[in-house]
A and B are shown apart, each in its own frame.
Chain A
C-alpha cells in the first residue's frame, strides 16, 4: 500500500461539474488495497459517475460489509455518509437507512464473499423488496483478505493460483438478481471504464433495486492462467450486449447513430440512457429473455456484460409500503403523535 497521501495538486485544466467540483473533489483516502487491484478502478468509476452526475457528496450514503471490496468506500466520496457494517449485513443496514431517510442516494458496496456467501440471504431480500439503491458487487471470485480461497462465484473448473481446480458450482449473482425481481441489472468489468461509468451513473438514476456485478480481477490471487476472472480471460470472453451513454439534464437527445441501433430509456430522475445496441437481438426490457440469454452464453463460457435488464417504470420499497414523501427521520412529533382523536379514528377503522 501507499503510505503518502495523494498530492493535493490537480491538473490546472480539469473540468468542473455543475456544482463547481472536479472529479478530484469526489475522492476519499488513498487506497490501501494491493497495487493494481480491480477494486480501485471501480472506485475511480464511482468517483467519475458521481462527478458527472453533479451529485452533492452529502446526499450519498455509502454502505458496505466486510472484505477487500467493503474497504473501498473509504477511498471515494470522502465527504459522504458511510457505514461499514457486519460481514454480509450491508443490505439490511442499507434497507434500514433507506426506510429512515428516503432522500439520500444509497450506494451499497459489497463483494462476492460478502454477498454470495455470508450475506447471500441479505442480498436476496434487499433485491426482492426493491430497495431504492445501487448495489455494486466487486466480484473477483476469491477471498483476497484470507489469501485467495475460491469464493462462491468462482466458476466450476477454474484453477486457483496454486493449481487447485474448483469443483463447486458457481453462483451467478446477475441471474439471481434477475430472478428476484431487480429492476436494473447489469454486469461490467473493472478494466473497462467506458462501459462501467455510464452503468453506475444510470443505476444511480434508477428508482428501485439496481444491481451491478463488476468482475474485478484480484491481482494477488486470481490473475493467472486458469482463472476465469483474470484481466486476460475477461478481455477474451467479454460479450458486451450494448454500450451506454447517460444523458444528464433535460437537453434534447441529439445522438447521431444509425436508426434502429439506439434505444432511449428515460429514467425517473429525468436523465436519459441512450443504449447503443451491439447485439441487435438483445432486448433489455425482457426479463425472461435476459435470463435465457445469460444461461446460454454462460454455458459457452462467455461473460455477458452491459445493461442486461431495466424496467423504466419500476417502483421501490417506499411505494410498496405507501410511506409518506417526507423522510421518516424528519417527521416531527405532531406528525408522529397526531393525538388521541386520530388514534381513535384509526382504531375504529380496524374494528
Chain B
C-alpha cells in the first residue's frame, strides 16, 4: 500500500466516526469534552454553528452518529451523543450575545417556502450576511414539522420557540399563516433566489375497503398529530389501532395514550426488527404499555353503518429469495379482526407540489419529485433551490439542516456572482495535545462505564398530560459520566516515520493490538497479516512509508481507543496525539478565518 496521506481532510475525518456519519458533520468529541469541563455554553455554540437546533435535535435526532460511534465496536453500546447534546442546551447560560448580529442589508432578497428546519437553516446562514430573508408558512408559528408532528411530550414548545427565535431574531421576516399557493406568483415577485423547504406534507393513504365509509374514525397520522399539536383535537376513542411502523406511528400511539386511548396497539406489516422506527422510540412505546403486533397486513376497515368497529388483517410471513430480498407472503392462517374505536394511519409520507406550475422552469422526475442537484440543491430553475424533505423525500431534521447549509452556500455564491458548483474545502486544524512527557490536554484514561440511562418521568404522571415532557435529560453528574465514555476519536495518532527506531514499544503497549510492523503488501494481504483480525474493511489502515528495516508501520484505525499510550511509550516522539478539528464550509466562510476555537 502507498503511505497514507494524512493531509487529505477526509482521512482523519473518517476516523472521527460520529462526525463523519453526521450529515452536518458536527464536531462531536469536541463538544463532549467541553460538556465534561462544564463549559455548556461553548458546547452549545459548537452545536449551534453546525446543526442549528441543538436543543431540538438533542431530543429528537435520529442519531446517525450513534451506530457509527467507535465505542459501539469496543463494548455493547455507543456514547449517548444525542442526549449529551441536550445537556449542552439544558445547562447553557444565556447565549444570545454570542449569536450573529443582524447586519446591514445587502439589498438581495431571498424567499423561503415553508418555515421548517431546512428553510430556517438557510435563513440563519444567509441573514447575518445581509440578505433580506422572507419565510412564508401556512402555520401560525415557525418550526414546520418540528412543531406540528413531534408531540410536545417529546419536544416542548419552549425549546422550539427558543431555537427558532434565535434565527428569526437575526432579522428574518416570518410571514405566518401565509401559505404559498403558486410558484408562478412567487417568482413574479422578483426575489433574487427562492428556497423551497416545504417538507413532505402529505400522509400516505391506505385505500382498502371500508376506508370511505368509516372515514370519521380513520385519521391520517401526521394530520392528526398536527391537529393535536394546535389543540384542535384533544380526545380519541378508548381502543386505538395505529397502522405503520415508523417514528410517526410511535408518536401517534403515544399521543393516543394521552388523549384517552386505553387500549392502544401498533400493527405493522413487517417483522418487529425490520420496523423503520428507531429502536429507542419503539422501546418508549412498549414502556407505555403499547403492544406492537407484527406480520399483519390490513385488508379492510370493519364498520357498522359507517361507525368503525375494527380492522381485519391478513397474517403474513417473511420469505427471502435467492438475492436475500424479503417478501411478505400469506402465512395461510385465518384473517384476524381487531376491534377498535379509532384508527391512525401512519404508513408513510409523500411530497406534494400542486402549487408549482408546469411552466416555472422547474422540472420534475418520473416520481413527481423536482430534479435537484444533490450537491448544490439547485433545481432546473437556477434561482430556485430545494432542501430538506421537499428535495429528496422524507428524512430526518439533521438531513434538512445539512442540506440547508449546502443550499445556503449555493445561494450565497449565486448572488455573489460565483460558480455554485465550486465548493470551498472545509477548514481543518491539527494541533499536538502534548503538555508534558505523560500529560495530554485531553483525558486519555479510558472510562469503563456502561452507557448511562436518561431518567424518565414517572409513567403515571407522564401519561396524564400530553404537554409533560417524558425524558428529564441527564443531570450534571450523569452527563459527566457519559461524557467520559467518549473516546476522543478526534485526537489522532500521528506517526513520523523518520523518528521511529522500531523498538516495538507502541506495539507492546497498545491495548487494542492496532499496530503492526510488517512487510508492505496489497491491502487485502496486509489485512491478513495484522496483529489482530481486521473485521471492518471500511475502516482505514494507516500505513507509513518504508522504515529503516524495510518494513512499514500499519495501524488499523478500527478499534483504536485514542488512549495515547503509543505516544506515551514512544521513546522518540514518533507517535504524537494531535487534535483534528474540521469545520465544514458554510455560506460566508469561504476563506479560512482566524476564528478562535472553543478549546
Contact = CB atoms under 8 A, between A and B. Distances in A.
B438 A41 contact: no
B571 A34 contact: yes
A198 B445 CA distance: 34
B74 A193 contact: no
A7 B511 contact: yes
A231 B448 CA distance: 37
Interface string B343-368: 00000000000000000000000000
Contact of A2 (B501, B561, B565): B565
B446 interface: yes
Contacts of A231: 501-503
A257 interface: no
Contact of A36 (B73, B75, B444, B505): B505
A245 B571 CA distance: 31
Given A6-B565, A35-B505, A36-B572, A11 B559 contact: yes
B505 to A, nearest CB: 4
A6 B568 CA distance: 11
A9 B561 contact: yes
Contacts of B95: none
Interface string B318-354: 0000000000000000000000000000000000000
B446 A9 contact: yes
Interface string A279-312: 0000000000000000000000000000000000
Nearest to A220: B571
Interface in B491-510: 501-505, 507-509
A10 interface: yes
A215 to B, nearest CB: 13
B351 to A, nearest CB: 42
A37 B503 CA distance: 8
Contacts of B146: none
Contact of B444 (A4, A43, A193, A219): A4
B442 to A, nearest CB: 12
B532 interface: yes
B512 A35 contact: no
Interface residues of A, number: 35
A13 B571 contact: no
A191 interface: yes
B504 A4 contact: no
Contact of B513 (A14, A36, A193): A14
Best-buried of A3, A13, A44 by chain B (most CB within 10 Å): A13
A13 B511 contact: no
Interface string B545-560: 0001100000000010
Interface in A79-107: none
A252 interface: no
A1 to B, nearest CB: 7
Interface in A23-65: 24, 30-31, 34-38, 40-41, 43-44
A320 interface: no
Interface residues of B, number: 35
B82 interface: no
Contacts of A30: 509
Best-buried of A4, A37, A44, A190 by chain B (most CB within 10 Å): A4
B570 interface: yes
A250 interface: no
B467 interface: no
B417 interface: no
Contacts of B73: 12
Nearest to A223: B501
B165 interface: no
B258 interface: no
A281 B250 CA distance: 79
A219 B511 contact: no
Contact of B571 (A4, A10, A36, A43): A36
B321 to A, nearest CB: 32
A223 to B, nearest CB: 7
B3 interface: no
A11 B511 CA distance: 8
Nearest to A9: B74
A7 B563 contact: yes
A14 B532 contact: yes
Contacts of A5: 445
B438 A2 contact: yes
B559 A41 contact: no
Contacts of B565: 2, 4, 6
Interface string B408-422: 000000000000000
Interface in B529-586: 532-535, 548-549, 559, 561, 563, 565, 568-572
Given A11-B513, A14-B513, A235 B549 contact: yes
A31 B571 CA distance: 14
Nearest to A231: B501
A31 B572 CA distance: 17
B561 A44 contact: no
A140 B513 CA distance: 27
Nearest to B507: A44
B568 A35 contact: yes
A36 B446 contact: no
Given A11-B512, A11-B559, A219 B446 contact: no
B561 A7 contact: yes
A217 interface: yes
A184 to B, nearest CB: 25
A128 B583 CA distance: 69
Given A6-B509, A235-B549, A38 B438 contact: no
Contacts of A9: 74-75, 446, 448, 511-512, 559, 561
A191 B509 contact: no
Nearest to A27: B511
Contacts of B534: 13
A13 B448 CA distance: 19
B444 A41 contact: no
A8 interface: yes
Contact of A219 (B503, B509, B514, B532): B503
B113 to A, nearest CB: 49
B571 A35 contact: yes
A190 B505 CA distance: 11
Given A41-B508, A44-B504, A7 B446 contact: yes
Contact of A40 (B75, B505, B514): B505
Given A2-B568, A2-B569, A36-B570, A12 B503 contact: no
A254 B445 CA distance: 46
Interface string A190-208: 1101000000000000000
B532 A35 contact: no
Contacts of B74: 9, 12
A4 B568 CA distance: 10
A349 B442 CA distance: 77
Contact of B532 (A11, A40, A217): A11
B326 to A, nearest CB: 28
Nearest to A75: B508
Nearest to B501: A231
Interface in A234-252: 235
Interface string A132-153: 0000000000000000000000
B501 A13 contact: no
B505 A37 contact: yes
Given A36-B569, A36-B570, A219-B503, 18 more contacts: A1-B438, A4-B565, A5-B445, A6-B565, A7-B511, A7-B563, A8-B446, A9-B561, A10-B512, A12-B74, A12-B559, A35-B571, A38-B503, A41-B505, A44-B508, A191-B502, A223-B501, A231-B503
10 contacts: A2-B438, A4-B565, A9-B448, A9-B512, A12-B535, A35-B570, A36-B505, A37-B505, A40-B509, A190-B504
Interface of B: 73-75, 438, 444-446, 448, 501-505, 507-509, 511-514, 532-535, 548-549, 559, 561, 563, 565, 568-572
8 residue pairs, one from A and one from B, having the closest CB atoms: A36-B571, A13-B533, A7-B446, A44-B508, A11-B532, A36-B503, A4-B445, A35-B571
